[in-house]
Amino acid sequence: MSGYDLKQILDHSTAHFWHAHHSQIYTNLRQMEEEGLVTSQFIQEEGQPNRRIYHVTEMGKAALKGWLDRPMQEMSPIKEELLVRLFFSGQRESHQIIAELQHQRRLHLQRLKEYENITVRMGDEKKPIELERESRFWHATIQLGLRYEKAYLEWLDETIQMVESL
Amino acid sequence: MSGYDLKQILDHSTAHFWHAHHSQIYTNLRQMEEEGLVTSQFIQEEGQPNRRIYHVTEMGKAALKGWLDRPMQEMSPIKEELLVRLFFSGQRESHQIIAELQHQRRLHLQRLKEYENITVRMGDEKKPIELERESRFWHATIQLGLRYEKAYLEWLDETIQMVESL
DNA sequence: CTGCTCATGTAATAGGTTACATGATTGC
DNA sequence: GCAATCATGTAACCTATTACATGAGCAG
């Protein structure tokens, strides 16, 4: 597929746990072509925009397999800017902190609803038995998203209350 | 304080939501000095290693305050490598996926216990009333850590079961 | 004719990791 | 004598973001 296609697919599938800008995708595809992981063909059609279509090579497939065969040894590191801000909020005014937490609450609630819509669209969240093997893994990534957003929202409510009580 | 001190403090307070390597700290402190946010004095004492001590300037304080005054508009983006791996696990053997998830389970359980020890050391998690304003915010960051690790562990158990049933 | 989507790229900069490199002191 | 801790830094590289830049087609 093309860089543009890849970007669309990323935005509609992995965006909640891994994202990339189009500039990164285009440059990385070119790099991967130099490394022999993919090949490309430039397609010019009348009435259609130009596209550069990439195909994965055997080397590319082997590289992906090689990566999957080396299991993660560490936990993914976390960078949560809101916690940095909260950590340094000792001198801030409570109402400003509360406003910021409430804004985050709205965002996380919206995200939770998006995940809930996805699971509803996939069928019943309690019966993923009928799904194909590949879909199950994608379903699992959404499940972590759901749990994460629920936990985050509970924490936001608890923390808003805490700041209100100061 | 010195770059070394800063690294120690980061490692023992914010490491669970924000970390930095010493190389990054040293280079950024130098940069901040050029920008006038901090000043430094090099200290040579007999029987003591050399240290470069930094002091924040009024400009530096204003910059921090300015940053805190501009509330976050977006959610912190997430990069969760384990989910990327799971997403592409359609062709992997179940027992390898399970082994990887179980290893992550051990890591997250350990992390949860660390957070629990911290809250126990801070007193009773249910009575943070006596804490000072600043400590409350730090306490809040640990609370999100607790909720996050609990949610993550529940998801790991659910997902391990799902893969076992394939 | 205006704005949106499709489609591709480059350049400059910022942020972050790993490896290289040195040297003193302290405890076993 | 050796390992660990204290203490500082640079260099190379990789990863990622933001801005710059172009152009076609389509819908209102």
Mean pLDDT of B47-61: 89
pLDDT greater than 60 at residue A163: yes
CB–CB contact B72 A79 (8 Å): no
Residue B124's pLDDT band, with cuts at 50, 70 and 90, is: low
Mutate to test the interface with A, among B11, B67, B87, B114 (most CBs of A within 10 A): B87
Tell me how close the Cα of A50 comes to any Cα of chain B, in angstroms: 29
Looking at strand D, which nucleotides approach a protein CB closer than 7 A? 6-12, 16-19, 23-26
* CB contacts < 8 A (A, B): 164
Using 50, 70 and 90 to split pLDDT, how confident is the model at A119?
A: confident
Structure tokens at B130: 């006596």
Average pLDDT of chain B, as a whole number: 91
pLDDT in tens, A134-144: 899 999 999 99
**Residue B96 in contact with residue A34, Cβ under 8 Å?**
no
d(CA A47, nearest CA chain B) in Å: 35
Looking at residues B2-21, what average pLDDT do you find? 93
The whole-number pLDDT of residue B38 equals: 95
**Residue in A76, A83, A99 nearest the CB of B144:** A83
pLDDT (0 to 100) of residue B122: 77
- Neighboring chain A residues of B152 at a CB cutoff of 8 Å: 144, 147-148
The distance (Å) linking the CA of A145 with the C1' of D28 is 39
- State the pLDDT at residue A121: 80
Q: Which residue has the higher pLDDT, A130 or A115?
A: A115
Rounded to whole angstroms, the Cα distance separating A43 from A64 reads 26
The more confident residue out of B70 and B125 is: B70
pLDDT beyond 70 at B125: no
Band the pLDDT of B123: cuts 50, 70, 90: low
Determine the nucleotide nearest to B8 by Cα–C1' distance. Answer: D6
Three-state secondary structure along chain B? CEHHHHHHHHHHHCCCCCCCCHHHHHHHHHHHHHCCCEEEEEECCCCCCCEEEEEECHHHHHHHHHHHHCCCCCCCCCCCHHHHHHHCCCCCCHHHHHHHHHHHHHHHHHHHHHHHHHHHHCCCCCCHHHCCHHHHHHHHHHHHHHHHHHHHHHHHHHHHHHHHCC
- Is the confidence at residue A128, as pLDDT, over 80? no
* Predicted pLDDT of residue B131: 61
Give pLDDT tens digits for A56-105: 999 999 999 999 999 999 999 999 999 999 999 999 999 999 999 999 99
Mean pLDDT of chain A: 92
Distance from CA of A3 to the nearest CA of B (A): 19
pLDDT tens digits, B58-79? 999 999 999 999 999 999 999 9
Confidence of residue A45 (pLDDT cuts 50, 70, 90): confident
pLDDT per residue as tens digits for the range B127-159? 555 568 889 999 999 999 999 999 999 999 999
Residues with CB under 7 A from strand C: A 2-5, 22-23, 26-27, 29-30, 42, 48-53, 77, 79; B 19-21, 23-24, 46-49
Q: At what angle do helices B94-121 and B133-164 cross, to 10 degrees?
A: 160
A interface test, pick of B76, B93, B150, B160 with most A CB neighbours within 10 Å:
B76
B20: alpha, beta or left? (left if phi > 0; alpha if psi -120 to 50): beta
CA of A24 to C1' of C12 (A): 14
For residue A43, the model assigns a pLDDT of 87
The helix (run of H) or strand (run of E) holding residue A22 is: helix A22-34
Check whether A129 has a pLDDT greater than 60.
no
Of A93-102, A127-136, B17-26, B53-62, give the lowest mean pLDDT range.
Answer: A127-136
Residue A130 pLDDT: 56
Which pLDDT does position B128 carry in this prediction?
52
Footprint of strand D on the protein (CB under 7 A): A 19-21, 23-24, 46-49; B 2-5, 22-23, 26-27, 29-30, 42, 48-53, 77, 79
Statement: residue A132 has pLDDT above 90: no
Top pLDDT among B106 and A43 is at B106
